[in-house]
Structure 1
Amino acid sequence: MEQSFWRVVLSYGHVGYRNEISVARHLEFSKYATASDVLHEVNNMPGTKNKCVCSLYTISPLEYRDGKQSELENFYLQDLFVNKEAEEIC
């Protein structure tokens, strides 16, 4: 099954009073996914603000691979994932 790859820059909250951080997320969807499908999915991601999407566009598989690697090195996302896993365990 072929895939489409997307780069979405999201605003995350909970980093201090009226503060936010923008983080690029790299997502994989089916070949037939549209921007609307991607928007629906990212609006349900934990930690995102209302109207969280700053930019959204398709990328190549190579850009996706490099982007996923940079996500693993992002300190904010590391903390977000650790806290999410802790909540699921409880």
Structure 2
Amino acid sequence: MNEDVRITVWVRGRVQGVGFRWFTRANALEIGDLRGFALNLDDGRVQIVAEGSRDNCHRLLDWLRSDDTPGRVDGVTEIWGTPRGGYDTFAIR
């Protein structure tokens, strides 16, 4: 079963000022059928909200945990939930 889900992710490490949000958006668009955003937080983390199929959200999460991201990821925390909608595409905020 590959229902639509919402995933909220917080990435910590050296993830601001290195193109992290841009590459996250590019990866989400490449995966396809993901909507949401990537946002720099005041505490140095990046927050990502993505809605789409469970498989595609897992693919984005796997990329966020890989060695292929810009900067340095020290940790990734995620919460899964029900889509709320309201996103037309995947944006940088």
TM over 0.5: no
Query: Which structure has greater strand proportion?
Result: 2
Higher RCO (CA < 8 A, seq sep 6+):
2
Q: TM-score, normalised by structure 1?
A: 0.43
Larger Rg: 1
Q: TM-score, normalised by structure 2?
A: 0.42
